[in-house]
Amino acid sequence: MAKIGIGTWAGKINVRIARGEVKFTISEDENGEYKIKVDLPGALRTAKIKFMNLVEEADGKTISGEGTISVLPGRKLTGAFTFEEDTFVGEIKAPVVGRIQITEGHRIA
């Protein structure tokens, strides 16, 4: 069964500490698990995000999971990305920051 969301994507975020385009690449590792690499804009450009427990939801369009970000050590993020052909919507919930909506999501490769 083909994994959803495989490819490179971009969308916009607008939060106090970072505004602009976020890019991420979704791939499959050697164990068949989802792997996500993220490039953040602005003040978060150097932040490192690590995702874990990524699962494909029953709707067959959504990937959800947990993660950590280097600027908030020891704190967990949760998120979900819903894909529809070459577009997506996403939301990440982060401690301190709250809900981060990813808008205008589209495939770039």
| φ, ψ for residue 56, nearest 5 deg | -90, 125
> Which amino acid is it at 29?
D
Dihedral angle sign, alpha carbons of residues 22, 26, 56, 62: positive
How far apart, in Å, do the first and last CA atoms of the chain sit? 21
Say what the pTM is.
0.87
CA distance 10 to 62: 16
Name the DSSP letter for residue 29.
Answer: -
Residue-level pLDDT, tens digit, the chain, 109 residues: 568 999 999 999 998 888 999 999 999 999 999 999 999 998 888 989 999 999 999 999 999 999 999 988 999 999 999 999 999 999 999 888 889 999 999 999 8
Residue 1 pLDDT: 55
